[in-house]
Structure 1
Amino acid sequence: MDNHRSVVIKSNRIVFPDGIQAGYLMVQDGKISGFETHFSGECIDYSDRIIMPGFVDIHVHGWGRGSFAYKGNKDSLKWMSHDLVKVGVTSYLPTSGTMPHDFLEASLVDAADFIATATPVDGAEVIGIHMEGPYISEKHLGMQRPDCLQRPSIEGFDHFNKLAGQNIRLMTLAPELEGALDLIRHLRAHGITVSAGHTDATFAEVTAAVEAGLNHFTHAYSGMRGFHHRELGVVGALMYYQDTYAEVAKQSGITIKPEAFDLLYRLKRDRRMVLMSDCMGYVDFPEGYEFYHYLRKETFRIKQGQLEIVSDGGETRHICPCDYEAVKQLEMNFLDSVKNIVDRLDKGLVSVARIACENPSILAGAEDRKGTLCPGKDADILVLDDDLNLVDVYCRGLRQTQLSEV
């Protein structure tokens, strides 16, 4: 599909917000221009396939052969965009980590440049930046760096956002920190989503943050004060406040148990649940970098351009960044997470389209052009078979030929 011409896509199963319909999806100049139940002209025939919106990943540090959080340059974003389409992600917020100040500055500048120059040929679209930290709690660091924490500051954030070309769309912070409430009000006044994450806040402190404008929770359950019946903590707050969004990471059963996902979904339903990946892009870490993955019980390090993984039992394996088939096995991808939960959702693929496409597009401030197949939106389209394997992907109307590449 050429994104600069008019085309029509035919399918018996097109996923819209109000249900699945048979008919013809009209695309003009890379945008969805309409839907018809009858059409007699030339079309691309996907009659036996499923058509749905591309996934929007608002929390992804890296994927495949690129890691924005740890390499922080345009090449890392180029590889992320190139490889994310292979797992159904057509737009995303590259997500920073709590890293040294000068590294954050340089990575934001590079991200701004990539956003300004990338085209659909590059693959998944960067629609903004998610800053996870550096305004987080030392008590819930997870795999973040304790030596790079900063105090919440309006001036500090504005400096970051200026370097980022005003492209920061989501900020994860610990609302209990001094200065956080003022920053939350400032962020919301500028249309930026504020999320609680890596936080030891009490229920009362989260309540104050919600009143100030916080409306999202980063990787629900993980990196936050847990629930107690006398001190509900952050977990209790995200469950109690029905109008807040809550995101869950890849559904491998390792990060959170399936039952924990189901409990949260019963509270949030399609309206406020968000799926994301929180992937890292391990093979693009800097030379010599080493960290211990406390969930997987493995040590990751880059040696002579290759990823070395050593288990607690001493087993060692090496992954070459040039081997995408091996690289993609390192982390559960977005599409596989969808496959693991679709049968547990209220409305199957209609629910998937809400929690994996529409809701994250809202939080990214991109709901005017992402998240659904409604007229006026970008033609970010997934073509799936009955087992939800990718057949084709279109980004802004352009067919992504790299699906079959390595």
Structure 2
Amino acid sequence: MNISGRILTPNGWILGHLRHDGAHIASIEADPAAPTDQLILPGFIDLHVHGAGGTDIMEGGDAARRVARLHARHGTTSMLGTTMTAPPEHIERALLGLGRAIATPAPDGAQILGVHLEGPFLNCQRLGAQPPLVSIGTLEQVCRWNAIAAIKVLTLAPEIPGHLQLIAELSAMGIRVQAGHSAGSYDEGVAAIEAGLAGFTHLFNGMSGFSHRAPGMVGAALAHAEFAEVIPDLQHVQPGALRAALRAIPRLYAVTDATAATGMPDGEYLLGSQRVMKCMGCVRLVLGDSLAGSALTMDQALRNLVDLGLTLEDASARVSRYPAEYLGLQDRGILAAGLRADLVVLGPDLQLRRVIAGGHHINLAHGVYQDAPVLT
């Protein structure tokens, strides 16, 4: 099937036709007569997703597939299912559901590439919306959970005793270890990077902040990181701080940290075992008023980045190419012949017109699960 318009390739824009044959891009050909009012970009890759459509991944069962369907309707073609700090049996329930969704993906949803294990190896001083059920990480525990569903990214507090060694061990396994929910100092952040730390979880949020005499974990990221994730909903991070991070970290990439409230009306929802309230686009704990994930989608993240002044090419890299590079994926994140047919088609207003995930055309007609429950 041919899709025509302005196509963003690794070498820049081409006006022409992209043809996909099944799950892969067959060819990209220039044609000056192709329409100019359609923008064709790589599909979005979201490495931090807790939920959507009234559903939380910690529910287990078929929750992950339901979440993947809603995010696909907003241009996400690949994602990581993200856990919460919880009792081990609750984490394992979520992992079982994720394992099934990884093995048998929903054809009308984003492909779930694996797990982002966010907790329980966190610092109780920087929990944010995570419940106080932290523990010290061990290789044995991670291997047990990795056998249930493949862990691609793992968030921990590197300053906890034993975690530097764990970073080195997990890095050797190919797991991307990130600093998050951390009270660590700048020096502890640098030591973690030297041990193999690959990134930072929702930069600025849930970590020791930056000041000129105590640079903190944020300072370690700004001074040394190649990759970090950030939530560009313009609520978690003030635009000035976001601009500073964009200048400092070469491959800063966007995540949604989306919750069950994503794609839903204002009201109460679950984030793991905790109640959260969505109000005017913001998600907070009902008890404590802390920001608790977001209601962001990746198409809105792209528009927000452009509104901040990024070129569309730069914004696209931060929602597609850089997260793919972070995970070492060579079959997606850019548009080229032979790669997965993961792409989005946008109008001049950057609103979605079409999403294709692994060659499947996603029905965009229902961006919200009308039958999904709002807690009462």
Q: Does residue 127 of the first structure (1) align with residue 113 of the second (2)?
A: yes
Contact 2:122–2:181, Cα closer than 8 Å, also in 1: yes
Matched residue SS, 1:259: helix
Structure 1 equivalent of residue 321 of structure 2: 358
**In structure 2, how many angstroms separate the alpha carbons of the residues matched to 1:264 and 1:112?**
34
Flag the 1:299–1:114 CA change in 2: closer, same or farther, 3 A.
closer
Report the Cα offset of residue 363 of structure 1.
2.4
Structure 2 equivalent of residue 326 of structure 1: none
Flag the 1:224–1:286 CA change in 2: closer, same or farther, 3 A.
closer
Contact 2:176–2:327, Cα closer than 8 Å, also in 1: yes
Q: Residues 168-193 of structure 1: CA distance to partner in whole angstroms, max 9, x if unpaired?
A: 10001100111111111111111111
Structure 2 equivalent of residue 16 of structure 1: 9
Q: 2:304 aligns with which of 321, 333, 340?
A: 340
Unaligned runs of 5+ in 2: 262-267, 369-376
Structure 1 equivalent of residue 55 of structure 2: 66
* Higher mean C-alpha deviation, range 286-295 or range 136-145: 286-295
**In structure 1, how many angstroms separate the alpha carbons of the residues matched to 2:31 and 2:259?**
44
Structure 1 equivalent of residue 141 of structure 2: 156
Flag the 1:86–1:154 CA change in 2: closer, same or farther, 3 A.
same
Matched residue SS, 1:127: strand
Q: Does residue 263 of the first structure (1) align with residue 239 of the second (2)?
A: no
Q: Does residue 55 of the first structure (1) align with residue 40 of the second (2)?
A: no
Matched residue SS, 1:401: coil
**In structure 1, how many angstroms separate the alpha carbons of the residues matched to 2:177 and 2:351?**
34
**In structure 2, how many angstroms separate the alpha carbons of the residues matched to 1:129 and 1:173?**
14
**In structure 1, how many angstroms separate the alpha carbons of the residues matched to 2:272 and 2:348?**
42
**In structure 2, how many angstroms separate the alpha carbons of the residues matched to 1:247 and 1:405?**
25
* TM-score, reference length from structure 2: 0.88
Structure 2 equivalent of residue 171 of structure 1: 154
Unaligned runs of 5+ in 1: 1-6, 302-310, 312-329
**In structure 2, how many angstroms separate the alpha carbons of the residues matched to 1:198 and 1:290?**
20
* TM-score, reference length from structure 1: 0.81
Number of residue pairs the alignment of both structures matches: 358
Report the Cα offset of residue 130 of structure 1.
0.4
Q: Residues 144-173 of structure 1: CA distance to partner in whole angstroms, max 9, x if unpaired?
A: 011x21101111111110121xx1100011
Q: Residues 25-78 of structure 1: CA distance to partner in whole angstroms, max 9, x if unpaired?
A: 2322211133222499xxxx7652110011100011112232114x2x132112
Matched residue SS, 2:229: strand
Q: Given residue 80 of structure 1, which amino acid in structure 2 is its aligned partner?
A: V
Contact 1:31–1:397, Cα closer than 8 Å, also in 2: yes
RMSD value, Cα: 2.7
Flag the 1:345–1:272 CA change in 2: closer, same or farther, 3 A.
farther
Give the number of the structure whose alpha-carbon radius of gyration is greater. Answer: 1
Identity in percent: 32
Report the Cα offset of residue 299 of structure 1.
5.6
**In structure 1, how many angstroms separate the alpha carbons of the residues matched to 2:272 and 2:139?**
34
**In structure 2, how many angstroms separate the alpha carbons of the residues matched to 1:109 and 1:227?**
38
Matched residue SS, 2:158: coil
Structure 1 equivalent of residue 205 of structure 2: 222
Structural mapping, 1:308-347, within 5 Å: 331-346=295-310
Q: 1:235 aligns with which of 218, 225, 243?
A: 218
Report the Cα offset of residue 286 of structure 1.
8.3
Q: Residues 347-394 of structure 1: CA distance to partner in whole angstroms, max 9, x if unpaired?
A: x121122111011112234x2222111222211110111101111111
Flag the 1:258–1:405 CA change in 2: closer, same or farther, 3 A.
closer
Q: Residues 124-156 of structure 1: CA distance to partner in whole angstroms, max 9, x if unpaired?
A: 11011101111110010000011x211011111
Matched residue SS, 2:4: strand
Matched residue SS, 1:150: coil
Structural mapping, 1:84-103, within 5 Å: 84-103=71-90
**In structure 2, how many angstroms separate the alpha carbons of the residues matched to 1:297 and 1:404?**
22
Contact 2:15–2:32, Cα closer than 8 Å, also in 1: no
Flag the 1:403–1:364 CA change in 2: closer, same or farther, 3 A.
farther
Contact 2:62–2:97, Cα closer than 8 Å, also in 1: no
